Amino acid sequence: MYEIPLWRAGRERASLDARLLRDYRGAPLARVASAPSLMVHRAVAELRAAAEPGRDLTALWDAIAAAGRLLATAGLGGCSPDEHARLVTLATGAPIADSRQALTELASGMVHVRDALRWQSPGGGLDPFLTHRLEPAPGKSCGWVPAGQVLGFVAPSNHPAVHLTWVLALAMGWSVALRPGADDPFTPWRVLLALREAGFPAERVALLPGGHDLVPALVEHCDRTVAYGGPALAALLGRDPRVLFNGPGRSKVLVDAGAVRAPTGNGMVSFLVDCILHDGGRKCTCASALLLRGEAPGLLEAVADRLDRLPLLDPLDPEARVPAWKDPAAAQQTPAETVEVDGLTFVRPALLLGVDPADPRFGVELPAPWATAAQLPAGADPLPLLRGSLAVTLLTRDRALAGRCLTETTIQKLFVGPIPPWHTEPGAPHKGRLADFLFTAKAYREAEIPWN
């Protein structure tokens, strides 16, 4: 059985408390140390002591890139990349092919950390991170400085690549106090081992597995906190300006039938299926609703048929595309149909047709390939139904609609053309730029003192 310890002050720490992590069939998988909420204050104090504002960031970037290469190829803590993917699948129910791809995605983002940082910098250069200056014009500058030293990070378990976010914070000079997701402590542990092996100062990270009581403690003691979760966590964190909260995505795709050539062709059907099915539908940017404006007979039905014919396989099967649910009760509380296959619980992949946008099921996000579809008359305004989306893909030539969606504050990502809503590049804005949350601009100017 695997052991996941605490990590503080640059080394592993034992814990008197631990929980047993089970796999999707209920078998014991790992013993995970549990940090009490009272430990957060001490851990954050250690992270502040480790923070070095003047440290050479380029050396940190080199170490992160080296860690990314190790993440993809090396045995770390006695665990190979293939074994890591197997553990993630066993712990979360995600299809094994998706777990392998997610580790590759995370490792690539770390290897190319400099490119990721360019997405985060005003102007796209690296100098602001090194000089803490912005120069909008020759002879003019302002300060651009961290808003603190320690970032709290409340991680999810839906996708390993999300851990690139806190690694980017390390690359920006922050220290990180991390509470891993309940089902996937393996990925942050592997990342931390890779960072240490690559020479990154491991005392700048604290790994604190534990319960929900750690969340308010992280918010209280850290300067900023990034958190992922559902409505319960959103209610707990409220509107605290120190928190960047990432909840359900409710991402959508609009097909404008009158503007798309051969809208019922196989290529279109495959694209729409992939918008829903990618990564087992577990990403918050996988499409949870399709909108068809105009007439394209058979299009939505073809997508629904393709999803309905997906086999429900054990997640360790290389051909598996649909995740298994560890908690059958949680699956049964969704609006989807649940089925039992070989002792495993699945949400049956589906596209529900003809769902009224006023129906509570419309656009509901599930960690599975499940979505709803609605049809609008040609010429109707779809923007009211696109609001409140993490990502929107528009298959339309309606430039006015694209412009309105671009300026709509409740749409976080916009793609025009055949770009799936789950598309991303390492460091690209997710819910805004991470750097905009971690840094602040301030007036700054220097002049010679004339009175000597």
d(CA 347, CA 332): 8
Number of helices (H) and strands (E) in the chain: give both, helices first.
Answer: 16, 21
What pLDDT tens digit does each residue of the chain (452 aa) get?
889 999 998 889 888 899 999 999 999 999 999 999 999 999 999 999 988 776 789 999 999 999 999 999 999 988 999 999 999 999 999 999 999 999 999 999 999 999 999 999 998 999 999 999 998 888 788 999 999 999 999 999 989 999 999 999 999 999 999 999 999 999 999 999 999 999 999 999 999 999 989 999 999 999 999 999 887 788 887 788 999 998 888 999 999 998 777 676 789 999 999 999 999 999 999 999 999 999 999 999 999 999 999 999 999 999 999 999 999 999 999 999 999 999 999 999 999 999 999 999 999 999 999 999 999 999 899 999 999 999 999 999 999 999 999 999 999 999 999 999 999 999 999 988 999 999 999 998 888 899 87
Q: What's the token pair of residue 339?
A: 């089925």
Task: Supply the pTM of this predicted model.
Answer: 0.94
10 Å CB burial of residue 216 (0-12, 13-18, 19+) is middle
Alpha-helical regions (H) of 239-348: 266-277, 299-308, 328-332
Domains identified in the chain and CATH numbers:
2-247 (3.40.605.10), 251-416 (3.40.309.10)
- Rounded to an integer, what distance in angstroms lies between the CA atom of residue 373 and that of residue 367? 17
pLDDT on residue 117: 97
With 0-12 / 13-18 / 19 or more C-beta atoms within 10 angstroms meaning exposed / middle / buried, residue 180 is buried
| C-alpha closest to that of 276 among 261, 289, 257 | 289
Instruction: Give the per-residue pLDDT at 179.
Output: 96
- The DSSP 8-state label assigned to residue 136 in this structure reads E
**Could you give the CA distance from residue 429 to residue 120 in angstroms, rounded to a whole number?**
7
CA distance 98 to 191: 18
Give the span between the Cα atoms of 314 and 134, in whole angstroms.
52
Q: What is the three-class DSSP state of 188?
A: helix
327 in Cβ contact with 97 (< 8 Å): no
394-406 per-residue burial string, b: 16 or more CB within 10 A, e: under 16? bbbebeebbeebe
What distance in Å separates the CA atoms of residue 385 and residue 389, rounded to the nearest whole number? Answer: 9
Angle at 280 between CA 274 and CA 286, to 5 degrees: 55
- CA dist list (Å): 240 to 150, 159, 220, 450: 16, 25, 10, 45
pLDDT recorded at residue 54: 67
